Amino acid sequence: MAPACVLVGVMGAGKTTVGELLAADLGVEFRDTDLDIEAAAGRPISDIFVQDGEAHFRALERAAVASALKSFDGVLALGGGAVLAEETRAALAGHTVVFLSVELADAVKRVGLGAGRPLLAINPRATLKHLMDQRRPLYLEVATYTVATDARPAEDVAAEIRALLKT
């Protein structure tokens, strides 16, 4: 079993919004590894970061992604930092991975003040810029397709992905 499509990209790229639309279009389920982690831990991600630290969160994330890649056949969204793990990048090989790219201005608009996103608690704009610069090569490394999301309605982005999946 493998996901119909795996969505990667930085916070604010639209993985959840686009993923839910795409899953509905395809008639499959949508799943978000952030929610899997929260369900397994019984607490929000921000609590995991504060109480146990980012390294612990990343370990939970690696396990959640590995499990979902093997057991889920719908549209799967990964947390923005999942690709930092070499193990996860290797596990994505052979999967259909769509990198939702976004420029800083749109990402900042979409994440707002970064509520619920512990990494954006301080200076969201500068942090987001740093994370985007650091991670873009990793998203490109795992991507089967790259789809730009700037100034586009989520419905358009979902339709483009749907067309790509048919090719």
Residues near ligand S3P (CB under 6 A): 11, 15, 34, 45, 79-81, 117-119, 131
Return the number of the residue (84 or 165) whose C-beta is nearest ligand S3P: 84
Return the number of the residue (118 or 156) whose C-beta is nearest ligand S3P: 118
Q: Report in angstroms how near the CB of residue 167 gets to ligand S3P at its nearest.
A: 27
Q: Report in angstroms how near the CB of residue 71 gets to ligand S3P at its nearest.
A: 19
Q: Report in angstroms how near the CB of residue 131 gets to ligand S3P at its nearest.
A: 6
DSSP H/E element including 148: strand 145-148
Tell me how crowded residue 59 is: count the other CB atoms within 10 A of its CB: 12
Q: Report in angstroms how near the CB of residue 117 gets to ligand S3P at its nearest.
A: 5
Return the number of the residue (50 or 163) whose C-beta is nearest ligand S3P: 50
- In the beta sheet, which residues pair with residue 101? 148
Residues 95, 143: Cα–Cα separation, whole Å? 9
Contact 99, 147 (CB under 8 A): yes
- Three-class DSSP category at 97: strand
Tell me which residue of 98, 78, 66, 118 sits closest to 163, measured CA to CA.
98
Return the number of the residue (70 or 130) whose C-beta is nearest ligand S3P: 130
